[in-house]
Chains A and B, each alone.
Chain A
Amino acid sequence: GESVGLHLPTLSVQEGDNSIINCAYSNSASDYFIWYKQESGKGPQFIIDIRSNMDKRQGQRVTVLLNKTVKHLSLQIAATQPGDSAVYFCAEGGNRDDKIIFGKGTRLHILP
């Protein structure tokens, strides 16, 4: 079946720099995308979401970009902090009540 995947399993970023985490999805019918942050031993924490009728959405220190032409999703974290260390998952779904499918995850490592 179709699934959401990720380009890089691990990303190391200098503290204070911006982080960009990428995600490729294969289901062109997906119309809702979510980024989650998972810290060790915890459940995923909602970061930001975007619908397919948008190509950009901003939150506090985070921005999600959606390129439907190439089926690519990215999460940008501004001024990366030590507390941003976690595994980040993109996920896709049909709408907010439907099940969502998780990608493989990218571990973000912050360098001092």
Chain B
Amino acid sequence: GAVVSQHPSRVICKSGTSVKIECRSLDFQATTMFWYRQFPKQSLMLMATSNEGSKATYEQGVEKDKFLINHASLTLSTLTVTSAHPEDSSFYICSATGRNSPQHFGDGTRLSIL
């Protein structure tokens, strides 16, 4: 089946650092990729929708300058958390979908800011 790969799986860094997370669709062309954030024991909250070659669409309350999204190809989207602080610590999950296919999710990136 369709596979979505996220890298890294875990990041621990100091406050003020910028962190980049990659999301790749390994065996299909992802016309759209989505980025979610999940806090412990909570549901997934959609942060933004990313279409290849165009600017991402952010959900209400998500700072676009804080969470930079780039979707440069049909198989790769990146999320950069700029100047990360402890409150940005969370589980970040991407998903990808092609034409007429359900979303397939990566295994997430656990971000811990000290």
Binds A, one of B64-72, B80-88, B104-112: B104-112
Q: How many A-B residue pairs have CB under 8 A?
A: 53
A46 B104 Cβ-Cβ under 8 A: yes
User: Does A58 belong to the interface (CB within 8 Å)?
Assistant: no
Closest to A4 in B: B43
Contacts of A103 in B (CB 8 A): 43
A97 B105 Cβ-Cβ under 8 A: no
CB distance from B58 to the nearest CB of A (A): 12
The interface on chain B, measured as residues whose beta carbon lies within 8 A of the other chain's beta carbons, has a size of 26
User: Does B97 belong to the interface (CB within 8 Å)?
Assistant: yes
The B-contacting residues of A in range 73-112, CB under 8 angstroms, are: 89, 96-97, 99-105
CA A36 – CA B101 in complex, angstroms? Answer: 15
CB distance from A109 to the nearest CB of B (A): 14
The SS class assigned to the B binding surface is strand
CA A36 – CA B43 in complex, angstroms? Answer: 11
Name the contact of A99 in the complex, choosing from B49, B101, B106 (C-beta under 8 A).
B49
User: Does B90 belong to the interface (CB within 8 Å)?
Assistant: no
A43 B46 Cβ-Cβ under 8 A: no
14 contacts between A and B (CB under 8 A): A34-B102, A41-B107, A43-B4, A43-B95, A44-B44, A44-B95, A45-B105, A46-B103, A46-B104, A97-B31, A97-B100, A99-B46, A101-B46, A102-B46
Identify the B interface with A (CB < 8 A): 4, 6, 31-32, 34, 36, 42-46, 49, 93, 95, 97, 99-108, 110
